[in-house]
Structure 1
Amino acid sequence: MPDGHSPISQAMVLAAGLGTRLRPITERMPKPLVPVAGRPMIDYVLDLLVEAGVRKAAVNIHHFADQMEAHLARERRLAILLSDERQELLNSGGGLVRGLKLLDCEPTLVMNADLFWVNETATPPALKRLAQGFDPERMDMLLLCVPLDRTTGHNGKKDFSLGSDGQLARFREGLPAPVVYAGAMAVHPRLFSDAPDGPFNLNIYFDRAIASGRLHGILLDADWITVGTPEAIAEAETVLGRKAG
């Protein structure tokens, strides 16, 4: 994996989802603002981005967009640009493409707003390693991945197999090194120059990159937390409590 590439100072945060599995909590607030150990989930995400040196982030909003806008207006550590999807929810791919248009056409960190990690042991931290390792000449996307046994709140699905050369393939039984996509990646916006207008799923580009040998991954060495259901909040708070203790 190449090292020493220029730091990445901008990010796109995917925060517009409906959070249907978190109902009834998300019937009164957007999923990224659901509190975990007294803090909205998205604040943990912003912590990680700030730690990595990100100075500007686009954030897409749809569900309870006014609440998101008010919360993000209080953020002072980095500049927030809102990608407004009030009129139409654009799915993971469409939302990403619209948000990237608010940023510079240069390598960008992309992160989901409803997951984060704690107790990281590797140095430099994962998002900095993503930035350093991303080589747009050889890669379409560099994904942060996590072993299943380091996940909390996950449904058990294995997403990819991580090869010894750093390339990713869709996981199927019999392949080595199964990993879960940790919801963070590095990408160059030019990858989406041919993207369709409107909603589409980002998996289209994952599969295209796999077919051309340009989907790569690195491992997260931390406790990875996703909160998809009300029951998962308590599990997440237990992990965070271990950190605090």
Structure 2
Amino acid sequence: MRAMVMAAGLGTRLQPLTSAIPKPMVPIVNRPALHHVLRLTARHGIRDVVINLHHLPDAITSYFSDGSEQRVRLRYSYEPVLLGTAGGVKQNEEFLTVDGTFLVLSGDSLTDVDLGAMAQAHHASGASVTIALKEMPEPSAYGVALLDGAGRIEGFQEKPEPGKELSNLCNCGLYMIEPEVLRRFPAQTFYDFGRQLWPEMLASGERLGAYLVEGYWNDVGNPEAYRQGNCDAARGLVTAELEGRTVGPGVTVGARCHIDAETVIEPPVVLGADCRVEKGARLLGPVVLGDGCIVEGGAQISGSVCWSGLVAGRGVTVMDSIVGRAGRLHGWVCLNACVIGDRCVLGDTGELNALSLESGTVLWG
């Protein structure tokens, strides 16, 4: 089986985190989200993979190259003009259909779905398309699927209003597809799976297969889902490779880190390479710090994800927040449920709650 990973989107719902990088490159436990997707396919023996690109494509190609580090064989499909989910797949029809059934999945979600079990269910059902679905407690944020008595999909609701959901089964954006499906629409035309192809197939009397995901799935669709995905990966709730060495239960550190013996650490904590955590600092997990972060004495970070190059000065508190690359926090700064873009400088701002700051913002109290 071959696979296509969708990585051409703009990632607007993750702004300001995606102002300078494409969404598949946002780090999850210090590796790009796309890395975890490719390792998922590799673990299931799916090694021939094409990735579609549009927004900031060089960031993806320069990092992943031929995919050998992820143990896959990569090729890229650039879309100067977006073709939609189905249109992007159609452009790679010849490559994808060599082995018959092929896989389509998102390049920025976090999951450990059993692709082998899904393939078995797909072939046993005789369906031309099988869509992975996940029960979610708040389904209004997603497209939800309605099943008939035989367990096949008979309809969809696209992001229904809260309280008006007819189902809690959310579309994971993960599909197994037979080659004949791609013959239903022309090439070089914008075409979307969810808004066009699936409704057309249902209208013609076809039933789409459903596979219920029992494992972990997170669409990483907004900053809070992104933060939660990192926390869950640090906790070991989803299969995600941690880079570095384990120095204690639930504590993983990268190369050349220095952690003072009088630092307070409550797991899970994941540190990238070249981090320095000084005497009297407190890391109250789940915490994920990227490469080259400095946490000075008296600073406290909890429930947060901080990208590479952070400096958290004495007295700084970061709670349930995300801080982009090269953040500088000095003096009395207390972040609570904030999303801070790259290269922001904050000094003596006091308490900031549920604030989103664009990259490059400078705030002094």
Q: TM-score, normalised by structure 1?
A: 0.83
Change (3 A) 1:37 1:210: same
Distance in 1 separating the partners of 2:185 and 2:105: 19
Q: Which amino acid aligns with 1:157?
A: Y
What SS does the aligned partner of 1:83 have?
strand
Quick one: distance in 2 between partners of 1:28 and 1:90? 22
Aligned residues: 226
Structure showing greater radius of gyration is 2
Quick one: distance in 1 between partners of 2:125 and 2:210? Answer: 15
**Which residue number corresponds to residue 222 of structure 2?**
229
More deviation in 207-216 or 16-25?
207-216
Alignment of 1:132-143 (within 5 A): 132-135=120-123, 138-143=126-131
1:223: Cα distance to partner?
2.2
Deviation at 1:133, TM superposition (A): 2.0
Say yes or no: does 1:162 pair with 2:155: no
**Pick aligned residue for 1:37 from 23, 29, 33:** 29
Where does structure 1 lack aligned partners over 5 or more consecutive residues?
1-8, 119-124
SS in 2 for 1:54: coil
By relative contact order (CA 8 Å, sep 6+), the higher-ranking structure is 1
SS of 1:128's equivalent? helix
RMSD: 2.3
2:289 matched residue in structure 1: none
For the residue of structure 1 that corresponds to 2:87, the secondary structure is helix
Residue pair 1:91, 1:199 contacting (<8 A) in 2 also: yes
CA deviation after TM superposition for structure 1 residue 164, in Å? 4.3
Query: 1:56-75 alignment to 2 at 5 Å?
Result: 56-73=48-65, 75=67
Of 190, 197, 203, 1:199 maps to: 190
Q: Could you say what secondary structure the match of 2:95 adopts?
A: coil
Residues 111-158 of structure 1, C-alpha deviations (whole Å, 9 max, x = no match): 01111224xxxxxx5211222222398312101110013x8xx76335
Q: What CA distance in whole angstroms lies between the structure 1 residues aligned with 2:65 and 2:46?
A: 17
The answer (yes or no) to whether the contact 2:6–2:105 under 8 Å persists in 1 is yes
- Structure 2 vs 1, CA of residues 193 and 71 (structure 1 numbering), >3 Å: closer, same or farther? same
User: Counting strand residues as a fraction of each chain, which structure ranks higher?
Assistant: 2
1:22 CA drift (Å) = 1.4
Which amino acid in the other structure matches residue 179 of structure 2?
A: P
Once residues 221 and 176 of structure 2 are traced to their aligned partners in structure 1, the CA distance between those partners, rounded to angstroms, is 24
Relative distance call for 1:25 and 1:11 in structure 2 (3 A) is same
SS in 2 for 1:101: helix
CA distance 1:243–1:162, shift in 2 (3 Å):
farther
Q: C-alpha separation between the residues in 1 aligned to 2:110 and 2:148?
A: 24
Q: 1:55 to 1:157 in 2, by over 3 A?
A: closer
Q: CA offsets per residue over residues 42-98 of structure 1, 9 Å max, x none?
A: 11111211111102011101111111111221521111111111x211111111211
Higher share of residues assigned helix: 1
CA distance in 2 between counterparts of 1:79 and 1:202 reads: 25
Contact 1:136 1:187 in 2 (8 A): no
The equivalent residue for 2:87 is: 94
Are residues 1:148 and 2:142 paired? Answer: no
Cα distance between partner residues in 2 of 1:182 and 1:25: 22
Does residue 50 of the first structure (1) align with residue 42 of the second (2)?
yes
CA distance in 1 between counterparts of 2:235 and 2:214 reads 16
Deviation at 1:174, TM superposition (A): 8.2
